[in-house]
Amino acid sequence: MSQIQTGLLVLLLTFLGVVGYNVYLSEITPEERSYTEFITFVENDEIKSIHLKGGDANVEDKKGLNFHTYIPDVSSILPLFKEKGIEITAEANNENFSGFMKSMLPILLILGGYLIFSRNRQGGKPDFGKGKGKSFSPQKKIDVSFNDVAGISEARLELTEIVDSLKNPEKFSTLGGYIPKGVLLQGPPGTGKTLLAKAIAGEALVPFYSIGGSDFVEMFVGVGASRVRELFTEAKQNAPCIIFIDEIDAIGGKRSGGNASGSNDEREQTLNALLVEMDGFDSDETVIIIAATNRPDMLDPALLRPGRFDRQVTIALPDVKGRRKILEVHAKKIVMARGTDLSDIARSIPGFSGADIANLVNEAALMAARHNKTAVDVSDFEDAKDKISLGLERKNVVINEKDRRVTAYHEAGHAITAKLLPETDPVHKISIIPRGQALGLTQQVPLDDRHTYSREYIINRIKILMGGRIAEEIVFGHQTTGASNDIVTATDIAGRFVCEFGMSAAIGPIAYSQEQDGFLGGTSSSKPYSEKTAERIDNEIKDLIDQCYNETHTLLTANNKFLHKLAEALLVNETVDGEEFEIVHQCFLNDKKIEWNLKKKIKEG
């Protein structure tokens, strides 16, 4: 009989026991009668005997029937009982204890059933501190190898030694070295930390224990520490092996240094147990601890010292080559159209993690199936990328012609500013089809991944964001709320330009840090400064935005015809890609009309 069947049988028997006990109580408990009715029976000389227990009275009438009643003042009614010749017996009132036991019996039955089930499940030894059986069962066959991990070649190379040490420990011990006891994988979410840990176990062909940091956390103090000890005891018995703790910051956070409330006692005891166990390996016990987190700044320093987590491997977002390799891995699982260039797709998704790319490939396959295609092509990837980044197309939304024209000129303003300014990313696509909360979009794709940004690039980025509102002002002579998100982004960039990058001539290279979030977590502390300095910073941010605004206004006014041509193309076709945008530009330079083919695609005029 399986553990589940045994548990269900125990619960069923416990339930039947409780029901049977309640039926038994109802059978032996006499009928309840009111005190008024009882007095009537006494006065009519119908009572034979009374058994008193405090104010409770079990009564037998002359017909042999029994019932129960409560007498509020026994001493006052005793003369009436004596007058009627009623037989009276009495006993001491110990109902408190017996009533308590009666009420506790169902609870004791349920608790006993649970303990029996727990004993059966854990081999005859119930223990509230035991871990979850599934969590501590090693995966002995891992179907993941380094071939399934792409885009993080540096991290992969760093961890190859772990695999070698598990396969050939003598290779290192003969030279006097020792293999790392722990490896901390840190990086943004979705970069492949868990997959990399599985690949190490798959390559080394050793048991793999996988558990989340939160699985150790319980409301009872000491349970988490008990589970840590149980996990390491079992791991040592199966050495060599790998223990993988995902999201270790759930138990490995910095200790409070004395918390009066005791709210962190459980987590800190769990961490202490983990620290002790990581120091407690014998030389012949090859147990590698691999942990993953995207908040390494939260971890306790004692956890990060050499001897515990000897190596800390940062897994960053993949570059364009890494994104292509990840695309190749996931593209093998779907039917790809011939001639699909994954390099262009990889270049168009900067900032995507491995998990994002896997989702992109899946969404592209769903898009192709939705359109009844036999293979996935580039257009499906484009639609999937837009859906992930901006949301679904809202083709059924009703937009009046005036709003369509405003949106067309707004997006044309962004695109033309990006086209005519130096040090900007090429325009990839312009659209006035509503997606998510946006009525249109102008998408730029960098030629290469950028790791640093020049002063000119940042200023021109502000100008591109201002281009939409300025185009509306030039053509329609008024402003709309469509530029609100652009203004928020431009103000944020200008603030970082002045306070963080130190690129303002008036303020100089001084960092007045603003709050910034990153994969390291937390926020940077703001440098304290005076009211006068704050006023200078505010004025510098405003001057920078005003300067960008005025220069962009001059640029778009000088290229008014280009603005009208691109807006016309958007109103006709709704979407203009990078190649078509270049054709519109050439038509503007050569003063030609825009022409269309049968599929409403722009061609040379």
Which residue's structure tokens are 């227990």?
A: 53
Q: Give the number of other Cβ atoms within 10 Å of residue 306's Cβ.
A: 10
Closest-CA residue to 50 (of 84, 26, 76, 96): 84
Strands 575-577 and 427-431: antiparallel
CA distance 74 to 97: 22
CA distance 472 to 537: 29
472 as an active site residue: the answer is no
Which residue's structure tokens are 């086209």?
A: 419
CA distance 200 to 195: 9
DSSP state of 266: H
CB neighbour list of residue 508: distance below 8 Å, 6 or more residues apart: 502
Q: Which of 218, 411, 540, 580 is catalytic?
A: 411
Cβ–Cβ < 8 Å for 122, 285: no
DSSP state of 438: B
CA distance 28 to 326: 75
> Quick one: angle between helices 401-420 and 560-573, nearest 10?
130
DSSP state of 147: G
CA distance 424 to 404: 27
Q: Which helix (H) or strand (E) segment is 314 a member of?
A: strand 311-314
- Whether the bond between 240 and the residue before it is cis, its omega within 30 degrees of 0, is yes
CA distance 492 to 461: 12
* DSSP letter for each residue of 301-312: HHHHSTTTS-EE
Tell me the sheet residues that pair with 246: 212, 292
**End-to-end alpha-carbon separation of the chain, Å?**
81
Closest-CA residue to 14 (of 115, 119, 99, 126): 115
* DSSP letter for each residue of 200-252: HHHHHT--EEEEEGGGG--SSTTHHHHHHHHHHHHHHHT-SEEEEEESTHHHH
DSSP state of 130: P
The torsion angle over the Cα atoms of residues 496, 501, 505 and 508, rounded to 10 degrees, is 110
Q: Retrieve residue 328's tokens.
A: 């190749």
Q: Which helix (H) or strand (E) segment is 571 a member of?
A: helix 560-573
Cβ–Cβ < 8 Å for 245, 211: yes
Active site residues: 411
